[in-house]
Amino acid sequence: MKILLFIISILNTTLALSDDTSPSRSDHIKVFNQAQSCYNSTPSGKLDRKRDCAKRALQAGRFLFEPHGVHIAALTYNYGKALKKKNNKKAIEVLGQALELYEAIYGKSSLEVINVLIDMGETRKVKSIAKKYFEKDSVEYADVLLRLSQSNTLSLKESSRHANWALEIYLKEEGVESYGTAAASFQMGKIKFAQEKYKSAIPYLIGATKNPETATFAHGWLVRVYGLTNQDDLASHHAQQLGRLRQGKGNDEYIPVFVPSPNYPQDARFQREEGFALLELTISNEGRATDIILVKESPESFGFGEEALKAAKRLLYAPKVVDGIAQQVPGVRYKYTFKMAR
């Protein structure tokens, strides 16, 4: 059983939601469609846009749906989630409103309230409800544990404990190559990375490459981990794997998957001078940066270009793959920006 995901389908303006066909209602439907489409299509990384779309969808939805119904509950939940990284206090307030609506509709101990409780950081309540429905060694219970670990409401230590618990269940019940096992392995790898335990992260990230749904992300993180532990050959290997997985996906922007930090030029540091260095390079069929030249540095005579050239030797890219064969890509530009700590 999957935990219920609160996703609102976009209204079709040709559907009659009631006998009221006034222009104002049509306007609200149009605004809601646009806002909800915006929310659904905006990547989670674009926080401001995601939050604005969620707010507008909720505002428009209030003119279209029952105030205490499931649609408003879901729209309120979406807005609360979108607020979390901007204003956690406000997010908890809005999520609390969503929780009240869901509890009134489904009951306080229903599965339908679990996602809201997770995002509110109510770990004990979440596990208490989950235990009423699932065995503690079941895949369904592991789903809840993993979702808790991924929620960003726990400390790294607690997040690691829940992810590892989920991983043990998935391994036993589903095997090494299941999505659950790979997702939990990936979560453990990210936690170790956040703790700067880079070598400990490696086996978990390798485990996450066993399933196609997590493999692309895992290879990208392995490039970073091996780069940070000065294992450039292994970093290059995973960059190549990443290139093969991305083949045919229209990746025309060459963005490095590992960027070594340059040293700050000593003279510039003493004078608190900031600047940049623009480089041009060739991406080899192994994803390495070769034939690196300095195109421009500003201001000159502070050593920004020199330090950028040194660091760029360890840049790694996912190589371009055509018909299964990695290709060299000349003329790629990369800009290092040097800024003093504030």
Q: Which fold has domain 134-229?
A: 1.25.40
Of the chain, the percentage scoring pLDDT greater than 90 comes to: 62
Average pLDDT over residues 142-150: 94
Query: Which residues lie closer than 8 Å to 275 by C-beta, 6 or more apart?
Result: 268, 297, 298, 299, 302, 304, 337, 338
Mean pLDDT, the chain, rounded, equals 87
Query: Which residues lie closer than 8 Å to 315 by C-beta, 6 or more apart?
Result: 256, 258, 259, 260, 281, 288, 289, 334
On the question of a common fold for 134-229 and 266-338, the answer reads no
Position 9 pLDDT exceeds 50: no
**What 3-state DSSP class applies to 297?**
strand
Q: Dump the DSSP string for 277-290.
A: EEEEEEE-TTSBEE
Q: Nearest 5°: phi and psi at 8?
A: -95, 130
Q: Are 29 and 17 in contact (CB under 8 A)?
A: yes
Position 259 pLDDT exceeds 90: no
Position 335 pLDDT exceeds 70: yes
Of the chain, the percentage scoring pLDDT greater than 70 comes to: 91
pLDDT at residue 127, rounded to an integer: 94
The number of beta carbons lying within 10 Å of the beta carbon of residue 230 is: 9
C-alpha distances out from residue 172 to 176, 178, 307, Å: 9, 11, 50
Position 53 pLDDT exceeds 90: yes
User: In this predicted structure, which of 13-17, 134-138, 172-176, 229-233 has the lowest mean pLDDT?
Assistant: 13-17
Per-residue pLDDT tens digits for 207-258: 999 998 899 889 989 998 999 999 989 988 888 888 888 775 554 568 888 8
Q: Dump the DSSP string for 42-78.
A: S-TT-HHHHHHHHHHHHHHHTTTS-TTSHHHHHHHHH
C-alpha distances out from residue 140 to 2, 55, 100, Å: 7, 32, 25
- Measured CA to CA, the distance from residue 330 to residue 284 in angstroms comes to 8
Q: Which fold has domain 1-132?
A: 1.25.40
Radius of gyration over alpha carbons of the chain, in Å?
24
Token pair for residue 231? 């294992």
**What 3-state DSSP class applies to 254?**
coil
pLDDT at residue 248, rounded to an integer: 59
- Measured CA to CA, the distance from residue 170 to residue 140 in angstroms comes to 10
Per-residue pLDDT tens digits for 300-324: 889 999 999 999 998 888 888 777 7
The pLDDT confidence band at residue 23, using thresholds 50, 70 and 90, is low
pLDDT at residue 6, rounded to an integer: 42
Q: Are 141 and 169 in contact (CB under 8 A)?
A: yes
Q: Are 32 and 61 in contact (CB under 8 A)?
A: yes
Q: Find out if CATH 3.30.465.10 is the number for domain 266-338.
A: no
Domain boundaries, the chain: 1-132, 134-229, 266-338
pTM over 0.85: no
The candidate with the shortest Cα–Cα distance to 190, out of 154, 228, 163, 230, is 163
C-alpha distances out from residue 199 to 205, 225, 309, Å: 10, 8, 27
The number of beta carbons lying within 10 Å of the beta carbon of residue 7 is: 10
